[in-house]
């Protein structure tokens, strides 16, 4: 997907810092008001104090490169090791488990798919085995991106009536070449958690790698479970889970870019990294797909995790769940509106099957909201953080008005690029 850019003249002379910052500030005036809760994804807010500690820690390591953590910036090596150590414990990882910080969910997923592919090839003694991935149709497109990079087959399987992964349907898609199963915590389209215990049993029965994509909910679901939410055990406590991804920069409330990927054993992790000795400089080894990594992301994650601790994350989860419940109740009080699935965390998807939801989305846009969209069935979508807490009544009022204006006919499929 290419884009044509207007030609610019490269500046001959430098400009004053104040003028440049003024220009950038002016450029931002046309951006959506994410601070005012008008954006349904991309940005995640907790409290001012959390944002400040993350920003300050990031800026303290603004220039350092985590690629050089072992040789030059040992402080970052220590910080990353402690982040992984703390979060392995959060996900019930057994002794011998390991993990890595990455730039985001897509990189975490690509690395997990590569590790699963290489693990399968090593066991088969076939370095060219292609293999296939079996995943519910709600699994993130990053799995297809990974498969495209590695020439793997993807088998997307229909969902159960609950809009969760259907273990029986997934089992029917498994064959001798299957190398990876996927479950989501939660899936992005509908905000529901897949039945990970059943998928774990399926993985063990067929001796296939199971990856849990908790990029969205990994740093939310454990605390929601502690608060009594009916969320299945989703982590390494399930013996069939081989790997798990979780984004720190979503509901870990850490500055971007920061994600994590974990493996049950060192043998599972062995196929993740890159270790090459092909050029004049000598051996080149990285555990991640990218080389240079911002040191600020590592330091900020270390600081935010320690600033909040289990108690802090639990308090935030309690507020988020109460907020999401209030949104759900308010939306379903609008005639014709209903949820698509019963949300487990703070992603919601909803619509009115008798109304043109594309027109509802246009009405919300006219009222200053960036509408999140889901296509099947046509509806609206929100991945909410505490940024959305103070604007709930305004959102619900505008949604009711937009729905009242929309034609009471079946709408065309709504599409979006995220």
* CA distances from residue 371 to 45, 145, 247, 417 in whole angstroms, order as listed: 18, 25, 23, 12
pLDDT at residue 276, rounded to an integer: 87
| Fold topology of 55-306 | 3.40.640
Query: Residue 37, by phi and psi: left (phi above 0), alpha (psi -120 to 50) or beta?
Result: left
Is-contact 152 132, C-beta < 8 A? yes
What percent of the chain is predicted at pLDDT more than 90? 89
pLDDT at residue 259, rounded to an integer: 98
78-85 long-range contacts, Cβ below 8 Å, gap at least 24? 79/298, 79/299, 79/301, 79/302, 80/298, 80/302, 82/302, 83/248, 83/260, 83/298, 83/301, 83/302, 83/305, 84/260, 84/262
Are β-strands 178-184 and 209-213 bridged in parallel, bridged antiparallel, or unpaired?
Answer: parallel
| Per-residue pLDDT reduced to its tens digit, 271-313 | 998 888 888 988 888 889 998 899 999 999 999 999 999 999 9
pLDDT at residue 86, rounded to an integer: 95
- Mean pLDDT of the region 75-90: 96
Q: How many CB atoms lie within 10 A of CB 78?
A: 13
Side-chain half-sphere of 262: how many Cα atoms within 13 Å? 31
- Mean pLDDT of the region 32-38: 95
Residues in contact with 255: Cβ distance below 8 Å, sequence separation at least 6, in sequence order: 54, 55, 58, 249, 296, 297, 300, 304
Least confident segment among 210-214, 287-291, 379-383: 287-291
Cα(128)–Cα(334) distance, rounded to whole angstroms?
Answer: 55
Tokens at residue 90, please? 């959060």
Are β-strands 379-383 and 372-374 bridged in parallel, bridged antiparallel, or unpaired?
Answer: antiparallel
Q: Mean pLDDT for the chain?
A: 95
pLDDT at residue 8, rounded to an integer: 87
pLDDT at residue 418, rounded to an integer: 42
pLDDT surpasses 70 at 320: yes
pLDDT surpasses 90 at 97: yes
pLDDT surpasses 50 at 2: yes
Tokens at residue 398, please? 């505008």
Confidence of residue 1 (pLDDT cuts 50, 70, 90): low
Cα(101)–Cα(195) distance, rounded to whole angstroms?
Answer: 26
pLDDT at residue 411, rounded to an integer: 46
* DSSP three-state, residue 93: coil
pLDDT at residue 7, rounded to an integer: 87
- Mean pLDDT of the region 335-342: 95
Q: Exposed (0-12), middle (13-18) or buried (19+): which is 374, by Cβ within 10 Å?
A: buried
Does 309-405 match 55-306 at the fold level? no
pLDDT surpasses 60 at 364: yes
Give the predicted TM-score (pTM) of the model: 0.95
pLDDT surpasses 80 at 416: no
Least confident segment among 7-11, 12-16, 153-157: 7-11
Tokens at residue 293, please? 């990594």
pLDDT surpasses 70 at 338: yes
CATH number of 309-405: 3.90.1150.10
pLDDT surpasses 60 at 34: yes
Tokens at residue 386, please? 């505490």
Sheet holding 338-339, edge to edge: 338-339, 347-351, 379-383, 372-374
Q: What DSSP designation does 140 have?
A: -
**Domain boundaries along the sequence of the chain:** 55-306, 309-405
pLDDT at residue 409, rounded to an integer: 77
């Amino acid at each position: 997907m290419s884009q044509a850019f207007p030609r610019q003249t490269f500046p001959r002379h430098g400009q004053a810092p104040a003028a440049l910052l003024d220009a950038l500030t002016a450029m931002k005036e046309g951006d959506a008001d994410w601070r005012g809760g008008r954006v349904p994804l991309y940005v995640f807010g907790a409290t001012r104090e959390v944002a400040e500690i993350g920003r300050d820690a990031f800026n303290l390591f603004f220039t350092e490169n985590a690629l050089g953590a072992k040789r030059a910036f040992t402080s970052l090596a220590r910080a990353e090791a402690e982040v992984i150590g703390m979060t392995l414990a959060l996900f019930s990882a057994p002794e011998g488990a390991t993990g890595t910080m990455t730039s985001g969910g897509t990189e975490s997923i690509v690395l997990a798919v590569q590790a699963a592919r290489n693990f399968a090839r090593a066991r088969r003694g076939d370095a060219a085995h292609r293999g296939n991935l079996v995943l519910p149709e709600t699994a993130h497109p990053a799995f297809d991106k990974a498969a495209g990079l590695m020439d793997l087959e993807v088998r997307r399987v229909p969902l159960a009536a609950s809009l969760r992964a259907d273990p029986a349907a997934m089992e029917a898609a498994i064959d001798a070449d299957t190398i990876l199963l996927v479950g989501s915590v939660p899936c992005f389209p509908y905000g529901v958690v897949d039945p990970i215990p059943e998928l774990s049993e399926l993985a063990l029965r067929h001796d296939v790698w199971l990856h849990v994509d908790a990029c969205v909910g990994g740093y939310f679901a454990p605390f929601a479970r502690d608060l009594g939410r009916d969320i299945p055990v989703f982590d390494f406590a399930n013996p069939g889970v081989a790997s798990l991804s979780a984004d720190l920069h979503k509901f870990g409330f850490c500055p971007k870019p920061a994600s994590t990927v974990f493996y049950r054993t060192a043998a599972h992790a062995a196929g993740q990294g890159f270790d090459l000795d092909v050029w004049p400089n000598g051996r080149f080894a990285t555990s991640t797909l990218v080389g240079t990594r911002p040191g600020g992301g590592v330091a900020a994650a270390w600081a935010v995790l320690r600033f909040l601790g289990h108690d802090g994350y639990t308090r935030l989860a309690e507020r988020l769940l109460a907020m999401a419940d209030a949104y759900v109740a308010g939306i379903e009080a609008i005639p014709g509106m209903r949820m698509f699935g019963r949300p487990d965390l703070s992603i919601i998807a909803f619509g009115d099957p008798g109304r043109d939801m594309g027109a509802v989305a246009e009405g919300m846009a006219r009222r200053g909201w960036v509408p999140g969209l889901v296509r099947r069935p046509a509806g609206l979508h929100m991945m909410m953080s505490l940024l959305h807490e103070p604007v709930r009544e305004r959102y619900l009022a505008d949604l009711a008005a937009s729905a009242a204006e929309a034609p009471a006919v079946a709408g065309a499929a709504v599409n979006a690029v995220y």
